[in-house]
Homo-oligomer: A and B are copies of this chain.
Amino acid sequence: MPRQSEPPHDAEILQGTLDMLILKICALQPIHGYGIVQRLQQISRDALHIRQGSLYPALYRLEGKGWLKAEWHTTEGGREAKYYRLTPAGRKQLEQEKAGWNRLCEAIALVLDAAE
């Protein structure tokens, strides 16, 4: 039987912010993919939600760039899960992305606040 798919959700992740968010969540503590989705939702008070279809390719991408490192461990529930941890390079990348994000926010604020 087809599994119940995720309900439609209008809270799109802005293109380009996904990597930063994942890196940040992983920076808090090693965590597995499924947990990232929940943690993000919890921290952002349900404002942000990553789809699994976006998450796993992103994790694969981030691991390929050397920003995350994965290890299989057993969850509290006694199940095998892939735990992702931030590498030093990942930490550096996260800092850069945060800086870029802040610059962007300031720039956009300038525009949005501009009066004729």
Contact = CB atoms under 8 A, between A and B. Distances in A.
B48 A108 contact: yes
Given A14-B17, A21-B108, A24-B112, A103 B29 contact: no
Contacts of A15: 14-16
A28 interface: yes
B12 A43 contact: no
Contacts of A82: none
Main secondary structure of the interface of A (DSSP, over half): helix
A34 B107 CA distance: 20
Contacts of A20: 112
A110 interface: yes
A1 interface: no
Contacts of A105: 105
Contacts of A116: 28-29
Interface of A: 12, 14-17, 20-21, 24-25, 28-29, 40, 43-45, 47-48, 98, 101, 103-108, 110-112, 114-116
27 contacts: A12-B16, A14-B14, A14-B16, A14-B104, A15-B15, A20-B112, A21-B108, A24-B112, A25-B111, A28-B114, A28-B115, A29-B116, A40-B111, A44-B108, A44-B110, A45-B107, A45-B110, A47-B103, A47-B104, A47-B106, A47-B107, A47-B110, A48-B108, A48-B111, A98-B112, A101-B112, A105-B105
